[in-house]
């Protein structure tokens, strides 16, 4: 659970100070946030305690948008729709969906971030490997342990359409760095040898790492991005289908 010291998140023991008639978030009045801040700036500020540059705020927003919905296929969406279909309220259904953000679902972002962050630090910065060498070492290590590399491959898509859009945006906004570079090198090897490509977890995890998010924040950021989709899917189930249907 250790957070790497180079990528700190603030631990002042108070995020929002509540006093009568006053709500101050990390030192900024809520009225000012309402008037002048974008949503993704506020997300960044709540987690990391600093206001991001416009480019970084735009990139975080695009990552949240990329996560917004994946139709009825994910375990989270299925669980949420089952719960509302059984007659529980919308908050219970959204919560039930979020419960499915385990290590094989949203948690995969954290696993990818952890891999990228530890590898950049240990293989590249400390041991002085090139990105290509580090990528090969990671692939070999997972292959020998018969493990999948988190952030690559998708059970529905051979080529997940989200990574190219995110990577291209990261480069044009110039918010990319060593984690994305490593992630791309890994993809080169995997696509050549196995036809496996980067997925949303890999792309968003690498870019979030380049923007200084510790891996522990990954599945929560996914939750922020996916709640809109969960809500839309739950409203659809509630309004367009018979309750407690057998074919769900």
First to last CA, the chain: 38
Identify whether the C-beta of residue 74 lies closer than 8 Å to the C-beta of residue 105.
yes
Identify whether the C-beta of residue 135 lies closer than 8 Å to the C-beta of residue 120.
no
Beta carbon nearer to a second copy, 23 or 174: 23
Beta carbon nearer to a second copy, 74 or 123: 74
Q: Looking at residues 118 to 147 of the shown chain, list those that interact with a second copy (rule: CB under 8 A).
A: none
Q: Please work out, in degrees rounded to the nearest 5, the angle formed at the alpha carbon of residue 150 by the alpha carbons of 100 and 54.
A: 85
Answer yes or no whether residue 184 interacts with a second copy by CB under 8 A: no
Min separation Cβ 134 and a second copy, Å? 27
Beta carbon nearer to a second copy, 67 or 134: 67
Number of residues that bind a second copy (CB under 8 A): 104
Min separation Cβ 156 and a second copy, Å? 6
Q: Looking at residues 54 to 93 of the shown chain, list those that interact with a second copy (rule: CB under 8 A).
A: 61-62, 64-66, 68-71, 73, 75-76, 78-79, 82-93
Min separation Cβ 118 and a second copy, Å? 18
Answer yes or no whether residue 244 interacts with a second copy by CB under 8 A: yes
Identify the residue whose tokens are 């008037």.
Answer: 35
**Tokens standing for residue 37:** 């801040």
Q: Looking at residues 157 to 176 of the shown chain, list those that interact with a second copy (rule: CB under 8 A).
A: 157-162, 164-166, 169
Q: Looking at residues 210 to 229 of the shown chain, list those that interact with a second copy (rule: CB under 8 A).
A: 216-217, 219-221, 223-224, 227-229
- Backbone phi and psi for residue 177, each to the nearest 5 degrees, phi listed first: -160, -155
Beta carbon nearer to a second copy, 129 or 165: 165
With the CA atoms of 127, 132, 136 and 139 taken in that order, what torsion angle do they form, in degrees rounded to the nearest 10? 100
Report d(CA 67, CA 200) in Å as an integer: 8
Report d(CA 198, CA 210) in Å as an integer: 16
Answer yes or no whether residue 4 interacts with a second copy by CB under 8 A: no
């Amino acid at each position: 659970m250790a957070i790497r010291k180079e990528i700190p998140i603030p631990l002042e023991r108070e995020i929002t100070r509540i006093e009568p008639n006053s709500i101050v978030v990390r030192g900024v009045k809520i009225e000012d946030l309402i008037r002048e801040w974008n949503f993704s700036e506020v997300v960044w500020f709540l987690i990391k305690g600093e206001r991001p540059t416009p480019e970084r705020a735009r990139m975080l927003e695009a990552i949240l948008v990329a996560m917004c919905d994946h139709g009825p296929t994910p375990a989270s969406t299925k669980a949420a729709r089952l719960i509302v279909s059984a007659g529980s309220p919308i908050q219970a259904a959204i919560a039930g969906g979020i419960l499915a953000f385990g290590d094989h679902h949203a948690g995969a972002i954290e696993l990818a971030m952890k891999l990228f962050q530890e590898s950049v630090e240990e293989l590249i910065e400390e041991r002085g490997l090139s990105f290509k060498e580090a990528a090969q070492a990671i692939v070999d290590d997972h292959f020998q342990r018969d493990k999948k590399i988190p952030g690559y491959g998708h059970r529905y898509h051979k080529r997940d359409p989200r990574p190219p859009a995110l990577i291209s945006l990261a480069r044009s906004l110039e918010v990319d760095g060593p984690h994305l570079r490593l992630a791309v090198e890994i993809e080169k090897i995997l696509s050549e040898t196995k036809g496996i490509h980067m997925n949303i977890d890999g792309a968003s995890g690498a870019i979030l790492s380049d923007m200084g998010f510790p891996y522990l924040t990954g599945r929560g950021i996914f939750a922020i991005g996916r709640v809109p989709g969960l809500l839309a899917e739950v409203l659809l189930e509630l309004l367009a289908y018979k309750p407690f249907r057998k074919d769900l």
